Amino acid sequence: MDLLNTLVDKGLRRELPTREEALAVLATSDDDLLDVVAAAGKVRRQWFGRRVKLNYLVNLKSGLCPEDCSYCSQRLGSKAEILKYTWLKPEDASKAAAAGVAGGAKRVCLVASGRGPTDRDVDRVSKTIEAIKEQNEGVEVCACLGLLSEGQADRLRDAGADAYNHNLNTSEGTYGEITTTHTYADRVDTVQQAQAAGLSACSGLIAGMGESDEDLVDVVFALRELDPDSVPVNFLIPFEGTPLAKEWNLTPQRALRILAMVRFVCPDVEVRLAGGREVHLRTMQPLALHLVNSIFLGDYLTSEGQAGQADLDMIADAGFEVEGAGTTTLPEHRADVVAGCGSHTAQDAPGCGSHGGGCGPCGSSEPEPEAPAVPEARTDLVSVRRRGAGTDLAPNA
């Protein structure tokens, strides 16, 4: 397929596809799916080999968020029966983190519900970061605390944070339909604050909220321009008790096409398979390892993932290997920039943020593929987390 050959060539050169090419990936048929995965897999292996980075989530503060993000089980007005608790003590958070590290996690992601941290919250998280780093030599720590105020990113970096996560989630054009209590611009500003402070930026999306192909391409191209070091791809977990509980729009095949599109647009970035993989990819999760180079181990913030050992077995059985603590995740050209200044711009990476080439297969006279059938809701696959942080039960790692 000429489209895939073109995208592989561009990915190996770190050249941005056209919007039409990205849209064409999402429009490929199920008959072509393995060809799409194989093509994107060549790009993934060029920059990351067969390594899989493991990340582990610790939910520092769960539920009771004042924001109204429609996808979130912790949102204002959520009736989802999730765990609700206030800030974990640093020693408890460190204990939870240690379980993930023992399971093979290289990065610990500290997350707290809420609009954004107060200065007191930053102090609290700083102590948690210090406790985790004291107990786990060489571990990376990423903070995800919401919208940042001036100077807070610097304080987190000084406390030992390596990265900051704040997802764009969906396109700028549709953001107001998902959230009304803050703006898309607020999210972009927080990512840029993290980059300016020398933190490695982590920012991604949520697919499956009823968005169009154009919306997906818009947000991924916006992420490419923002240039984070890691891009988590979440698939909506339709929690009962949230406004998007009935949004079951994904098939395993569509989820794989989305991941392939992200890899083609962000060829040398850590693409992370995040929340919802068990719900939407199901038995096809191993195929996704040919597209992504990073996953979360075990459970998520408010939902259960598959057993941590099952994750490790899946990686080994698919012929991949867990990335070791002494290995640099990013390719040399990106890692050098991060080490030098903590952030990078479109000028630092050839083709980054630029549109090269002409129109792809959008001018084809072939008939448009039929819309896939809407999948049946698999509510049996959505399990609320009842173990780990905030409970007396052992975590899943």
CA pseudo-torsion sign 387, 391, 393, 397? positive
State yes or no: pLDDT of 31 exceeds 70: yes
266 given a catalytic annotation? no
> Residues annotated as binding site for [2Fe-2S] cluster?
109, 142, 202, 272
359 is catalytic: no
State the catalytic residue, choosing from 44, 107, 187, 202: 202
| pLDDT recorded at residue 283 | 95
For residue 65, indicate whether it is catalytic: yes
Q: What is the DSSP letter of 85?
A: B
**Given this model, what pLDDT does residue 384 score?**
75
Whole-angstrom distance, CA of residue 374 vs CA of residue 250? 8
**Helices 19-26 & 2-12 angle (0-180, nearest 10):** 120
| Active-site choice (14, 19, 44, 69) | 69
Q: Which residue has the tokens 């610097």?
A: 154
Nearest in space to 84 (alpha carbons), one of 64, 66, 68: 64
Bridging pattern class, strands 200-202 and 51-61 = unpaired
Q: What is the pLDDT of residue 170?
A: 97
CA 228 to chain centre: 11
Q: Do residues 253 and 30 touch, judged by C-beta distance below 8 A?
A: yes
H-helix or E-strand spanning residue 233: strand 230-235
Angle between helix axes 252-265 and 33-48 (nearest 10 degrees) is: 40
Q: How many CB atoms lie within 10 A of CB 162?
A: 21
Find the catalytic residue in 14, 44, 65, 277: 65
- Indicate the residue type of 126: S
- CA distances to 61, 188, 244 from 179, rounded to whole Å, are 21, 14, 12
Q: Which domains does the chain have, with CATH numbers?
A: 2-324 (3.20.20.70)
Region of poorest pLDDT, from 62-76, 195-209, 354-368 = 354-368
**What gap in Å lies between CA 231 and CA 292, rounded to an integer?**
10
Catalytic residue among 14, 19, 44, 109: 109
The per-residue pLDDT for range 311-327, each reduced to its tens digit, is 999 999 999 999 998 89
- Predicted confidence band of residue 372 (pLDDT cuts 50, 70, 90): low
**Annotated binding-site ranges for [4Fe-4S] cluster:** 65, 69, 72
The pLDDT, as a whole number, for residue 320 is: 98
pLDDT tens, residue by residue, 205-225: 999 999 999 999 999 999 999
- Note the pTM of the prediction, 2 decimals: 0.87
User: Is 142 an active-site residue?
Assistant: yes
Residue 23: predicted pLDDT: 98
Residue in 156, 80, 72 with CA at minimum distance from that of residue 114? 72
352 is catalytic: no
pLDDT at 373: 57
Q: Which candidate in 75, 272, 277, 334 is catalytic?
A: 272
Query: What pLDDT sits at residue 368?
Result: 45
Q: Which of 19, 124, 142, 144 is catalytic?
A: 142
- The contacts of residue 237 (CB under 8 Å, 6+ apart) are 73, 275, 276, 279, 300, 303, 382
Catalytic site residue 50? no
Structural tokens at position 110 = 């500290």
| Residue of 14, 72, 75, 144 marked catalytic | 72
Tell me, yes or no, if 144 is annotated catalytic: no
Average pLDDT over residues 4-24: 98
Residue stretches of the annotated binding site: 65, 69, 72, 109, 142, 202, 272
